[in-house]
Structure 1
Amino acid sequence: MNTDARSHVHALIDRLPPVQLAALETILQSMLDPLSRKLALAPIDDEPFTEEDRQAVAEADEWLKDNQPVPLENVLADFGLGMTDWETMAKTPLPEETGKRNG
């Protein structure tokens, strides 16, 4: 992008009201971060939140009153992974996202 185009984009951004600026921030982040884009394009979870779900959340909340959460690093270590592996997995497309199909 040349300097004139960049300056023009900045000038347009400066004219946006706060609500639209927040929306633009989200759009720009999703363009620059593949995970954010995937999350933004993910289908809406329309599965109902059941009484069983509520009970499971209540049990987890109760457990947390007397216990510390397990750090992600510990969970990953149980699988022989580290934070670098986790970050790499976040950036690696799933097989169905590569455009290749089985069969």
Structure 2
Amino acid sequence: MRNKLLTAATLVCSALAVATTSLPTAAQAQHRHKVQVCRDVSSRGSRNTGTVVGAVTGGLLGNALSHGGGKTGGTIIGAGVGAVAGHQIAKHNDTHRVCHWEYR
């Protein structure tokens, strides 16, 4: 009987100790404030799409602007310039901010 009483008293004291240490005190609660946390998120899929669209558009434009026998060279140069431009445009337009609130 005595062991059961000691065991129960020990469990109650342990539970109270855990409960009081896990609860914030009034001073701790006053110093917590709401903070907005943001980060930039980008996906690589948009960059790849921008590169392909830029290459196709640049190739068509290079073919249309080149003269005579230089159409192949104009198409290749236009595709290369368009791919770089499309990638850079997609990279800058793809990044967006994701924000959430945290208590600190």
- TM-score higher than 0.5: no
Greater percentage in helix: 2
Under a length normalisation based on structure 1, what TM-score does the superposition of the two structures give?
A: 0.18
Higher relative contact order (CA 8 A, sep 6+): 2
Greater percentage in strand: 2
Structure number, greater radius of gyration: 2
Under a length normalisation based on structure 2, what TM-score does the superposition of the two structures give?
A: 0.18
